[in-house]
Amino acid sequence: MMIMNTTRKQAGFTLVEIAIVLVIIGLLLGGILKGQQLINSARVRNMADQNSGVQAAYFGFIDRFRQIPGDMPGAAACAAIGSVVTGCGGTPVGGNQNGRIDTWVEAGAVWNHLSASGFLNGSYTGSGTTSAATYIAGPLAAPPAVPANAFQQAIMLAYTDDYEAGTGTASVRLAYAFGASIQPSMLRELDVKLDDGSPVTGVMRPTVETANTGEPGDDMGAALIWTGTPACVTGAGTATATYNVDSDNTSCNAVFLY
């Protein structure tokens, strides 16, 4: 009796089929990477525009009111701007009129004064910012106390010396902080767009991490948020420092010096 072999060989993928699958996978990965690059570039443009808008608002406010936003006393702000200033009729937000934004309270009041006067889009109460921790939580308040960057992290305008100075010593200057959660590669792209592309020269500098949590005039650092070198910069503290673009660190920050 003849026994029939009913076992059938399973056909495998041909080289052509495998090649087609690999091409499709490559196209998908390329599209994902390109899409991420476009998203990051859009975020960089957003942060650059945000800085320009704040800078214009700051100097516009000074030109109109002859006072510094945030540093302007609350009562004077209510009289000049109106009842839209947070706390008018009670304890309005404002500063001590010492000519600089150098307390957490003043750093918060900046945003209320600028938005209430119409120089800045949005509406910010500027209230409750009495420490680094409460300032950082400002964008999460309802309504928000302070504005946020593209990563929903608080931005800041205050006097500080917590920035990369290469071999020199940083001086206390008015600075706009872009906020946390920025990758080094994005910081470099932002620096190229706004300044000279170097972390140790020009007006844009990465922030320096510090454990101090004092007032922003002495320390914008507050390790809770303003992290920077060395993870974000290669060769920090030297004249040849560069942005660590190969790092995937997402806790970097930088300031733009006014």
Q: What is the pLDDT of residue 33?
A: 57
With 80 as the cut, is the pLDDT of residue 17 above it? no
> pLDDT-based confidence at 70, cuts 50/70/90?
very high
Q: Which two tokens stand for residue 248?
A: 């995937």
- CA dist 183 and 186 (Å) reads 5
For 162-178, the pLDDT digits (tens) are 888 888 888 888 999 99
Instruction: For helices 74-81 and 104-116, give the axis angle rounded to 10 degrees.
Output: 10
With 50 as the cut, is the pLDDT of residue 221 above it? no
For 89-131, the pLDDT digits (tens) are 899 999 999 999 988 999 999 999 999 999 999 999 999 888 8
With 80 as the cut, is the pLDDT of residue 243 above it? yes
On the 0-12 / 13-18 / 19+ scale of CB atoms within 10 A, 195 is middle
187: left (phi over 0), alpha (psi -120 to 50) or beta: alpha
Q: What is the pLDDT of residue 222?
A: 44
> pLDDT-based confidence at 3, cuts 50/70/90?
low
With 80 as the cut, is the pLDDT of residue 255 above it? yes
With 60 as the cut, is the pLDDT of residue 26 above it? yes
The pLDDT > 90 percentage for the chain reads 50
> pTM of the prediction?
0.81
> pLDDT-based confidence at 149, cuts 50/70/90?
very high
Task: Tell me how crowded residue 28 is: count the other CB atoms within 10 A of its CB.
Answer: 10
Q: Assess contact for 131 and 213: CB atoms under 8 A.
A: yes
With 90 as the cut, is the pLDDT of residue 251 above it? no
- CA dist 141 and 81 (Å) reads 23
Q: What is the pLDDT of residue 172?
A: 84
Domain boundaries, the chain: 22-257
Q: What is the pLDDT of residue 161?
A: 82
Range 18-42 average pLDDT: 71
- CA dist 41 and 87 (Å) reads 39
Q: What is the pLDDT of residue 115?
A: 97
- CA dist 226 and 90 (Å) reads 33
Q: Which amino acid is at 33?
A: L
Range 219-247 average pLDDT: 71
Q: Which two tokens stand for residue 59?
A: 């100097």
> pLDDT-based confidence at 7, cuts 50/70/90?
low
Determine the distance from the C-alpha atom of residue 45 to the mean position of all C-alpha atoms in its chain, rounded to a whole number: 12
